[in-house]
Amino acid sequence: MLRETTMEPWIRAVFLVMVLFPALAEAKVRHYNFKVVMKNYTKLCSTKPIATVNGKFPGPTLRAREGDNVLVKVINDVSYNVTIHWHGIRQLRTGWSDGPAYIAQCPIQPGQSYLYNFSIIGQRGTLFWHAHISWLRATMHGAIVILPKKGTPYPFPQPVKEKIIVLAEWWKADTEAVINQGTLSGMPPNVSDAHTMNGYTGPIRNCSISSQGTYTLHVEHNKTYLLRIINAAINDEIFFRIAGHKFTVVEVDASYTKPFVTDTIYIAPGQTTNALLKADQSPSKKYLIGMSSFMDAPSVAVDNTTNYGLLRYNGGPLGSRLVLTTMPPINATKAQLNFSNALRSLNSKKYPAQVPLTIDHSLLFTTGVGVNPCATCLNGSKLVGNINNVTFVMPSIALLQAYYYNISGVFTDDFPSKPPTNFDYTIANYTGGLATMNGTKVYRLSYNATVQVVLQDTSIIAPESHPLHLHGTNFFVVGMGTGNYNATKDFKNFNLVDPVERNTIDVPTGGWTAIRFRADNPGVWFMHCHLEVHTSWGLKMAFLIENGDGPNKSIMPPPKDLPKC
């Protein structure tokens, strides 16, 4: 028998760690290889091969448990520069693995590789990964499934099975050509030709091939499934329905919610939703699954095609009757807001909502578009995006590198805390100036500062719903409303008890959204509209979060293979 006195000190130390931190003992290292390759998808009417990870569309699913260390080797075998972003993964102190090109890292050049190395801390649920350079994420994206730690159950009834549903958009043309053409003209790029459900398009606009395959969800009668729904679309906010069935939403953006029942899921690009689906309808029928766009700005063009999948019961007759569903109208603002407003943090003892109650930085950010001169563009002008009238100009080396190595001249830290002028942001017929200023500006925060950002839509050119995404941290959505935010009234109605926690939230059309977060992750963190068209136009900025005291509150040193610009 091993007596206490004979136990080697190092064995005792390991033993102690395992007893005190059982989670550490079981955390695993997960290895993935992501090879970026061109692949022919002519059967989906595409005119060009598309950039994929491992030849798959959607790409491979990354599976891990809370606490795991994930290593993904990305090998770039295409002629484009590439980066991958692990959307919603907090990347505590590992900003080098976050992925947005020229913000967190220089791109991985053709023929090069880079090892993304991060741990999943305090998160479980559904997220997704996607390319984060130009429009490559149109074809390079896939699910991230984070299971709870071993032995930790879900805070909802255990589903019999889990099904991933990746929603996206499909262009027949090469999406890099689509955005390049848009940029050259100064006009909006072409809308997509179809929506996809796990890569299935259904019929495609102007495509001579009639059937492109339909996504089918097979279920067992009276069993409960967990749907992990991801909106990986480039520009389209989406309604999702299954005829005859209801969903119970239990999690969004890898944060548990109070369960709520709905027949319509609204999901913006960048958002993820976990919902329980009880297969409790007649097994002798089959049911349409619908996916359609939401767009309540009348002047903005959007892909208005509806894609349908099928839900079938195992053992159901082949010729079973089809149950239809009507999708909400494309401009169903109410359906969007009802869904968004119904979401609440679970806020249980085990999963408390740690909403900052005092605020160090109170910011007002207007989000919208504008028009700047462009001599070479179609009308001598181009559409631009902006936050607080600043159109973000991409630097030529990554902001994080410039910050870490003290390289001057790359960015300035004077991003404005409020718009340059006060005006009626949501007035119906705006007649003021349209031009914005260019800049590569960040907003600087000291470690652990608490921040409130009121995101205010503007009606310049057109009021429009903008799904704003923040890297490096989740935020709490403490308020949302229409019209102009009223600083003396609206904050009284903020929910500081159980607001939903997410990484992407809409600024509603002609309205505002208030978010709060704690700056406890040192690094440089991108915030941008997750409609890629608006990101391309410059609707983006970054927060610079300084180190705290000591190495555990400081950004880790960069890896040796960090790509060079």
Structure tokens at 277: 């689906």
Nearer to ligand C2O, 130 or 344 (CB): 130
Nearer to ligand C2O, 426 or 503 (CB): 503
With beta carbons less than 8 A apart as the criterion, state whether 447 and 546 touch.
yes
How many angstroms separate the Cα of 182 from the Cα of each of 80, 134, 165, 383, 518? 18, 12, 30, 10, 37
Among residues 300, 432, 435, the alpha carbon closest in space to that of 374 is found at 435
Among residues 475, 435, 485, 410, the alpha carbon closest in space to that of 455 is found at 485
Please name the residues in contact with 297: beta carbons below 8 A apart, sequence gap of 6 or more.
462, 463, 464, 465, 509
Burial (CB count within 10 angstroms: exposed 0-12, middle 13-18, buried 19+), residue 16: exposed
Handedness of CA 484, 486, 489, 494 (dihedral sign): positive
Amino acid symbol at 534: H
Owner of token pair 């921040």: 451
Give the integer Cα–Cα distance in Å for 400 and 164: 33
Shortest CB 129 distance to ligand C2O, Å: 9
Shortest CB 443 distance to ligand C2O, Å: 16
With beta carbons less than 8 A apart as the criterion, state whether 108 and 83 touch.
yes
Shortest CB 10 distance to ligand C2O, Å: 43
Shortest CB 137 distance to ligand C2O, Å: 7
Shortest CB 535 distance to ligand C2O, Å: 8
Cross-strand partners of 126: 145
Nearer to ligand C2O, 102 or 313 (CB): 102
How many angstroms separate the Cα of 297 from the Cα of each of 128, 368, 537? 28, 12, 18
Strands 125-131 and 450-457 turn out to be unpaired
Rg (alpha carbons) of the chain, rounded to whole number: 24
Nearer to ligand C2O, 85 or 382 (CB): 85
Nearer to ligand C2O, 234 or 276 (CB): 234
Shortest CB 441 distance to ligand C2O, Å: 17
Owner of token pair 């085990």: 350
Helix, strand, coil share (%) of the chain residues, nearest 5: 10, 40, 50
Nearer to ligand C2O, 277 or 515 (CB): 515
Interface residues with ligand C2O (CB under 6 A) are: 85, 87, 100, 130, 132, 270, 469, 471, 526, 528, 530
Shortest CB 400 distance to ligand C2O, Å: 13
- Residue 335: enclosing H or E segment and its boundaries? helix 333-342
Among residues 373, 364, 366, the alpha carbon closest in space to that of 417 is found at 364
Strands 272-278 and 247-252 turn out to be antiparallel
Nearer to ligand C2O, 327 or 400 (CB): 400
Give the integer Cα–Cα distance in Å for 7 and 385: 65
Give the integer Cα–Cα distance in Å for 182 and 454: 30
DSSP state of 158: P
Structure tokens at 336: 């969007």
Nearer to ligand C2O, 86 or 239 (CB): 86
Nearer to ligand C2O, 85 or 518 (CB): 85
Backbone angles phi, psi at 481, to 5 degrees: -160, 175
Strands 361-373 and 450-457 turn out to be parallel
Nearer to ligand C2O, 269 or 416 (CB): 269
Shortest CB 541 distance to ligand C2O, Å: 12
Amino acid symbol at 91: Q
Shortest CB 270 distance to ligand C2O, Å: 5
Nearer to ligand C2O, 199 or 270 (CB): 270
Nearer to ligand C2O, 286 or 540 (CB): 540
Shortest CB 298 distance to ligand C2O, Å: 27
Shortest CB 284 distance to ligand C2O, Å: 41
With beta carbons less than 8 A apart as the criterion, state whether 160 and 352 touch.
no
Shortest CB 163 distance to ligand C2O, Å: 22
Number of residue whose CB is nearest ligand C2O: 87
Nearer to ligand C2O, 469 or 534 (CB): 469
Shortest CB 487 distance to ligand C2O, Å: 29
Nearer to ligand C2O, 132 or 172 (CB): 132
Give the integer Cα–Cα distance in Å for 546 and 433: 36
Give the integer Cα–Cα distance in Å for 408 and 387: 23
Shortest CB 557 distance to ligand C2O, Å: 23
Q: Residue 175: CA atoms inside 13 Å, Cβ hemisphere, count?
A: 26
